[in-house]
Amino acid sequence: MRILIAEDQPATASILETILSSYGRCDIVENGKKAVRAVERAFKERQPYDLICLDLMMPEMGGREALLKIRETEKQHSRQSLSHYSKIMIVTAVTDTHNRQGSLADGAAVYVTKPFKKDDLVRQLKAMGFI
């Protein structure tokens, strides 16, 4: 499967990549704007992402805004050519109910809080049906 990691902390991005690269090819970007652009590019290549990990607090554009824009992009492409909706996993240090509930309502599949362990991610991959 194809995986996109949007995370502004290189150390965290690297941990995510180490764990997730067992399950698919990972691309890494450091803000929401680049995540949206990467999703566009993947659609053009006709190989959209299966899983997108979004940090909430990132420069330029945070994860909540990116999530909405990614869903918009997917909706447009689904109408025109390729119908595909990625599973979105929020990975964040933000633990409040407002952000958790809001992200899930906006279409995130799962919400993981930092610090996380490999087992936490594997459990979520199972919950999303990837493994």
The contact set with Mg ion (CB under 5 A) reads 8, 55, 57-58
> Distances from the Cα of 125 to the Cαs of 31, 79, 89, 103, in angstroms?
23, 28, 9, 18
Shortest Å, Cβ 13 to Mg ion: 10
Q: Which is nearer to Mg ion, 26 or 91 (CB)?
A: 91
- CA atoms of 108 and 87, how far apart (whole Å): 7
Shortest Å, Cβ 16 to Mg ion: 12
> Distances from the Cα of 37 to the Cαs of 20, 29, 62, 89, in angstroms?
21, 10, 14, 18
Shortest Å, Cβ 9 to Mg ion: 6
Q: Which is nearer to Mg ion, 43 or 108 (CB)?
A: 108
Q: Which is nearer to Mg ion, 18 or 76 (CB)?
A: 18
Token reading at 63: 């994860």
